[in-house]
Structure 1
């Protein structure tokens, strides 16, 4: 991927205190945080380059190499972090949904949609970004990529399973129906992002969730 500098690339480097010995993990976290900031600001992952990240945190670009070999590796770390954030958000929503299984499922689904709407640049990059790490060099495997999002999908499957156990849903294949439900949520999240002026029905989420989750009376 070509190095495309963000608009503020000429900004002076911030003053940064050198990490003490053994604080390499801190620098790695700072690199990821800087990449997220650039993504949020510019809405385009092409604004994230080794140079722009280094400039943001006040280090020389070669200092990134011990932690990330290239820009796609940084983006993979960002995507992993955001999928972890999504899973944590869904788990918290399930807990806050109360004791009613149907309400817990709806809370999880709405939390998914809310996160996508709150951080559209991150969400787009998670599911349709330009990044692609190099496979075959030992640092990233196909299994690493395939595992992205599995915890979030499990949250949906668990919430759906609780509805089935309580007689609130008639799903007979939790995994497949959880995937179908996720595709419905993802489609709505994407369309909301790209067609902001469309007059969405207030209950559009429920119209999607009910049938896909096989909720009774949906």
Structure 2
């Protein structure tokens, strides 16, 4: 069921040109972009309804149905896009860090934390348990949900495994230790967002990474 009303900031785009034949993909991307904007503004996926998205794009709500059958399908596309952006950022961090596995480890973790800080509303929706669609009552499947974040976790696992193989980490189980490392990073990102005024140690991220990745000191 859609929420009644829309945020005051969900102003429609004026003068949207009608798609030419074969340009339905453009409307799909506009729908996703509008949903991301609403999420950034409201910080709550409940602000994203078929009506609010349609109003933002400048179309009638039924025009969404050929592209998305329901609101959870729009949110899934948003989450898939954000996880893809995070994945690409982590890959770039690995490539730009050079051949030193330890440097790549820090680069990946720092990039993750930066993403959380730059996109707090998106991050909370991705990792904070705010978006929990019911696979039995929506078009989103359990497999769709399980696949979110797989690639980003794989990058963390592979980076830690490289550190272990290069003798820079004592980890004997990179897969499990990468999960523990992610939990530490997520906890830091979450608490930084909630307690910005807390006098965080300047090296708190390095401490977490060094300890949970079992890096040699």
TM-score (norm. length: structure 1)? 0.93
Distance 1:124 1:137, change over 3 A: closer
Partner of 1:62: 62
Partner of 1:113: 113
> Aligned equivalents of 1:43 and 1:25: distance in 2?
26
CA drift of 1:132 comes to 3.5
Distance 1:95 1:72, change over 3 A: same
Worse-superposed segment, 30-39 or 66-75: 66-75
> Aligned equivalents of 1:147 and 1:13: distance in 2?
33
Partner of 2:91: 91
CA drift of 1:141 comes to 2.2
CA drift of 1:61 comes to 0.6
Report whether the alignment pairs 1:8 with 2:6.
no
- Which aligned pairs between 1:16-95 and structure 2 lie closer than 5 A? 16-95=16-95
> Aligned equivalents of 1:79 and 1:171: distance in 2?
31
Distance 1:213 1:193, change over 3 A: same
Segments of 5+ residues of structure 1 without an aligned counterpart are: none
Report whether the alignment pairs 1:155 with 2:151.
no
Conserved 8 A contact 1:76-1:133:
no
Partner of 1:104: 104
CA drift of 1:140 comes to 2.9
Report whether the alignment pairs 1:208 with 2:208.
yes
> Aligned equivalents of 2:136 and 2:21: distance in 1?
31
CA drift of 1:8 comes to 3.0
Conserved 8 A contact 2:72-2:138:
no
> Aligned equivalents of 1:38 and 1:30: distance in 2?
12
> Aligned equivalents of 1:101 and 1:13: distance in 2?
47
> Aligned equivalents of 1:54 and 1:138: distance in 2?
19
What secondary structure is seen at the aligned counterpart in 2 of 1:169? coil
Conserved 8 A contact 1:83-1:149:
yes
Partner of 2:170: 170
How many residues were matched structurally? Answer: 216
Conserved 8 A contact 1:45-1:129:
no
CA drift of 1:45 comes to 1.9
Partner of 2:198: 198
CA drift of 1:12 comes to 5.3
Distance 1:142 1:204, change over 3 A: same
> Aligned equivalents of 2:155 and 2:172: distance in 1?
17
